[in-house]
Structure 1
Amino acid sequence: MSQKNNEAVRMIPLGGVGQIGKNMMVLEYGDEMLIIDSGVMFPEDDQLGIDLVIPDFDYVKKNKDKIKGIVLTHGHLDHIGALPFLLKEINVPIYGTKLTLGLLEGNLKEHRLMKSSRLKVVNAGSTVQVGQFKVDYIKVNHSLTDTCALAIHTPLGPIVYASDFKFDQTPVDGEVADFHKLAELGHSEPGVLALFSDSTNVERKGYTMSEKVVGETIDDIFYRATNRIIVATFASNIHRIQQILDAAVKYDRKIAITGRSMTNNVEIARRLGYINVPDDMIVDIRDMGHIADDETVIITTGSQGEPMAALTRMARGDHYHINIKNGDTVVISASAIPGNEKFVGQTINQLFERGANVIYEDVSGVHVSGHASQEELKLMLNLTKPKYFVPTHGEARHLHQHAALAEDVGVPKENTYIAELGDVIEFREDKVEKVDKVQAGDILVDGLGIGDVGNIVLRDRKTLSEDGIIIVVVTIDSNGNIQSGPDIITRGFVYIRESEKLIEDATNRVKDALEECEEKGITEWSVLKKTIKNSLNNYIYKQIKRNPMILPIIMQV
């Protein structure tokens, strides 16, 4: 067996497989590690009160002395949003393109980590050395400019991490993906060891449309509109925002920007030279009332129907400065993220009810995806010609369909690996296999609490949200004799004034159960609490088929 056959490269997904978001990978060779991205995922409907979901950093913390750096593909939150939490555990250099790091800076400043962070700007087309790893930054197209695929060179060949991507033949900034570099990696010795590729749009046939198509639609909307124009889009879609600004300048409309993330991102992109617009075209949102309706355009957040976002507040009529009025043209230049369809629909309905002319994806071409469709995914596979293939950035069905697509273009089925979180995927010259499993999963962020909310707390929140709570207050003396109570207080259970008989009967049941304990000489608090719960649980369910949370409070005097 050759020395090369003894070499092994390992990749460990801590996020981004079996789910959309929370992208994070750890590459391991010898005694060194490299982290690729570290993103967040937004909470599911059943994760009540949760702000963000981040990867479990346990494996990283255990091996922090081996980590040589963090390489970033682009600046979307599902790829960089968890970095402030990660950097509280490790402090290593972070490599990314100018806009990626510019967007990251805003997050780091919020967490007061900017001074201690070591940010290294890398340009698309350049190569950096991170420990023993040589990393090529390769230009690809996406809904956020400055996005790069990565080629990380190992003794067995380069691993290509394709990031989120599409192949746009007519990009807004004129910078097409670096097909030559991808093909060079795939057709030169030793060839690409493994490809990790975006599976988000694997269900869509054909090619993803060019961003320029949206620009043409926006231009037509501006040409036809006779009153105010309000455009909601993703705050990170710099190319989309630039096209909206270009249309505003062309039709001589003053521009106001609202929504915190939109305001911040436009400011960062203008400072770094990614957005160009004359200063005299930008006005403060508070001054819009002094400008004629047919001379204004408002760019806002809220394309996903988020309850506190600017567009949603306009639709409800409680925005600080702008509310929808009859004759407004509202453009929602985004598609609903899976799970948000209901909120987006509600916002569109409210906008129509207020007299707006609403233009959205289902009825026009005001949005195109930033992710590759089937033909582009095949092209990435054919350009790189990987020995092994690991579909990423998708739920289970996406990964399996992408694996089938790879087989169609010639990747042997046994050379494709469908990963799960925490799998230690080992690549050798002659095989790919799972050799271990590390701790991985979701860490929930609630306010300033990180990981202190788990399944039990979420279960309690679910119970409270569905059935409410009954609090039973009892005062006893040192001998266990009842001095006052039991008193029953409810929240979210029933309206007491209309359920006096139910509460009275429940109180009597608790009283009888406690008196029975008193007669038996039972004074142990845990037993008394259990008795209170048992006396109420069956009774409440039998009466009204509900299971509220029952919280006994015993005070001793």
Structure 2
Amino acid sequence: MQKGGQWTASLRLLSHGHEDFIGAVPELLKQINVGVFGTHFTMSLVELALTEAGMNVSDYRLYRINHNKVLKFGNITVQFYSTSHSVPESLGIAIKTEDGALVYAPDFTFASNTDPRYQTSFGNMTEIAKDGVLALFSESLGAANIGRASNDYQLIYAVNEILQNSKRVIFSMFSTELQRIQKIINLCVQNNRRVAIIGKKAQKTINIAVKEGYLQIPPENFVNLKYMTEENRNDDADLAVIITGIRHEPYYTLQRMCNGVDRLIEIKDDDNIIIISQPTTGTEIMAQKTTSLLHRHGAKVTVIPKSMLMSSHADSEDLKMLYSIMKPKYVVPIIGEYRHQVMQKQIALEAGFKEENVIMLENGIKITFENGRLLPEREKIRSGDVLVDGSFVGDINEIVLKDREMLAQDGLVLVVTSVDARLKKIIAGPTVEMKGFVVGETAEEVSRAVSQLSEEIINSFLAKRYIDWASLKNQLKESITKEVLKLTNKNPIIMVSLIDVESK
């Protein structure tokens, strides 16, 4: 918390290693160097995040714990219990006070599991509940789920059938679903498949999981793909490719593969694509567009329905079971959109809680308990999005925006091309305008290189049966950025304008 311009905190307890739970740790530690506690896998990811932020891990107090650890800070005791989630060694957290425990229960299910790294420690939960729970802060993301699978058996059966009867198989998965990735790897190995895992941003997380033994791939089945050449297209019939990433990233990678701009894989009409990554909020349109694009390229596409996937978030029955174990005086729905929290409130009311004992909060609202009772006063603290840009952290109106910095430091490249979409040909351009970073002969060289590169990329897209304009613009921006960086060691803002005109 920031109070009077100063950051105040004593420690940070981490429940698990997903980006939305640990992503802010580097910035928080820059503001105030507090002790950070988490399980081995979680802290391995934190160390990676610190290293990527240019921070020295040894400068910070990072502590590895397990679910049986008990921490004491003055008159405060902290206990933990392990939970079943999509990443290993996830935790629930209980902060014990004189009036009862405050239990934090994020991202969990009560699904049965044979792997101890994904099991719920019910013994620890009952031990915490024995001394009384004042308030239960429980996740709400899965509150609306009804009839979800309690395991991945249907998924395993469907995938096994495809692996047995297909040539190259490509999976689209979220990198956060480590246990599910392991199940797919096991199936691939059973079917004598070589396995490649790709995903630029997620690769380091996967590497840690492999190195630490959280993902296990026999060396003889694991393959690192090399860039495609005329001789090597990475299209062997025994190859299984697992595309990983978060949010939109698996879909974006598939689009690049369809459009022939990915350097590792190009989608062919005898490929079998299995989409296991369910669209998250805000990515539904992109997911539908990706599926349509795959069909246009003739690939066989299997979209695994939600009903076949074991949920990573507590449904209504899980929440009722949590209430039954913890027996809290108050329930505070957290995590998810407000509609999800309303759904949990309804579940709590159905479970017998009184309306006044289910506390609905907005971001920034502070609640206070005194002598075991909720005080009616609710203080509003300053909250909202914070723009993080290099060494600047603060409200948007207090810092210089990144685009302005880039314009001042590295300039601008504008590429304008007129295209006849009906005839699929370039009518005029590409015309290149550059401001603020190169002059003289260097400018002419860069302009020619950018123009030639742009023309090649545009023509390659125009040659396709279906033109994906958004992907074309993205590819132009990516390729021009790399070319300009190579020629000038500058990273200007790239603006691409494609004008659709009808030639006469």
* Aligned-partner Cα distance in 1 for 2:62–2:18: 17
Runs ≥4 in structure 1, deviation > 6 angstroms?
Answer: 455-458
* Aligned-partner Cα distance in 2 for 1:279–1:434: 60
Structure 1: which amino acid aligns with 2:36?
Answer: I
* Aligned-partner Cα distance in 1 for 2:261–2:302: 22
Structure 1: which amino acid aligns with 2:342?
Answer: H
* Aligned-partner Cα distance in 1 for 2:307–2:269: 21
Q: Percent identity between the aligned chains?
A: 33
* Aligned-partner Cα distance in 1 for 2:241–2:287: 19
Structure 2: which amino acid aligns with 1:422?
Answer: G
**Pairing 1:269–2:202 present:** no
* Aligned-partner Cα distance in 2 for 1:397–1:304: 20
Secondary structure of 1:390's counterpart equals strand
**Pairing 1:256–2:196 present:** yes
Structure 1 counterpart of 2:158: 217
Structure 1 counterpart of 2:38: 96
- Normalising by the residue count of structure 2, what TM-score does the alignment of the two structures yield? 0.73
TM alignment of 1:136-535, pairs within 5 A: 136-170=79-113, 175-186=118-129, 188-189=130-131, 191-206=132-147, 209-224=150-165, 226-286=166-226, 289=232, 293-301=236-244, 304-306=247-249, 309-362=252-305, 365=308, 367-428=309-370, 429-445=372-388, 450-451=393-394, 453-454=396-397
Encode CA deviations 1:279-336: one digit per residue, 9 max, x unaligned: 2211111178377622111111357444994333212221012111111111111210
* Aligned-partner Cα distance in 1 for 2:332–2:127: 20
Ranges in structure 1 where 5+ consecutive residues have no aligned partner: 1-56, 462-489, 493-557
Structure 2 counterpart of 1:21: none
TM alignment of 1:70-109, pairs within 5 A: 70-109=12-51
* Aligned-partner Cα distance in 1 for 2:314–2:364: 26
* Aligned-partner Cα distance in 2 for 1:382–1:491: 62
- Normalising by the residue count of structure 1, what TM-score does the alignment of the two structures yield? 0.66
* Aligned-partner Cα distance in 1 for 2:207–2:275: 21
Structure 2 counterpart of 1:51: none
Preserved CA contact (<8 Å) 1:203 1:373? yes
* Aligned-partner Cα distance in 2 for 1:223–1:141: 31
- 1:401–1:291: structure 2 CA closer, same or farther, 3 Å change rule? closer
1:167: Cα distance to partner?
0.9
Secondary structure of 1:442's counterpart equals coil
Secondary structure of 1:260's counterpart equals coil
Preserved CA contact (<8 Å) 1:137 1:150? yes
Preserved CA contact (<8 Å) 1:301 1:309? no
Preserved CA contact (<8 Å) 2:85 2:118? no
Encode CA deviations 1:102-121: one digit per residue, 9 max, x unaligned: 12222111112223222111
* Aligned-partner Cα distance in 2 for 1:294–1:303: 27
1:373: Cα distance to partner?
0.9
Which of 42, 62, 71 is the matching residue for 2:6? 62
* Aligned-partner Cα distance in 2 for 1:125–1:240: 26
* Aligned-partner Cα distance in 2 for 1:105–1:332: 31
* Aligned-partner Cα distance in 2 for 1:360–1:130: 49
* Aligned-partner Cα distance in 1 for 2:284–2:115: 28
- 1:133–1:112: structure 2 CA closer, same or farther, 3 Å change rule? farther
Ranges in structure 2 where 5+ consecutive residues have no aligned partner: 405-413, 417-504
Which of 52, 65, 72 is the matching residue for 1:122? 65
Equivalenced residue count is: 403
* Aligned-partner Cα distance in 2 for 1:368–1:209: 5
Root mean square deviation of aligned Cα: 3.1
1:445: Cα distance to partner?
3.5
1:456: Cα distance to partner?
12
Higher relative contact order (CA closer than 8 Å, sequence separation 6+):
1
Structure 1 counterpart of 2:499: none
Which stretch of structure 1 is more off in the superposition, 274-283 or 67-76? 274-283
1:415: Cα distance to partner?
1.4
Structure 1: which amino acid aligns with 2:207?
Answer: E
Preserved CA contact (<8 Å) 2:172 2:251? no
Structure 1: which amino acid aligns with 2:167?
Answer: N
1:216: Cα distance to partner?
3.6
* Aligned-partner Cα distance in 2 for 1:93–1:105: 13
Preserved CA contact (<8 Å) 2:243 2:250? no
- Indicate the structure (1 or 2) with the bigger Cα radius of gyration: 1
- 1:432–1:166: structure 2 CA closer, same or farther, 3 Å change rule? farther
- 1:264–1:307: structure 2 CA closer, same or farther, 3 Å change rule? closer
Encode CA deviations 1:421-472: one digit per residue, 9 max, x unaligned: 12111122133544422111111345765446359999x99xxxxxxxxxxx
- 1:295–1:287: structure 2 CA closer, same or farther, 3 Å change rule? farther
1:363: Cα distance to partner?
8.6
Secondary structure of 1:389's counterpart equals strand
- 1:92–1:491: structure 2 CA closer, same or farther, 3 Å change rule? same
* Aligned-partner Cα distance in 2 for 1:388–1:452: 34
Structure 2: which amino acid aligns with 1:234?
Answer: F
Preserved CA contact (<8 Å) 1:231 1:298? yes
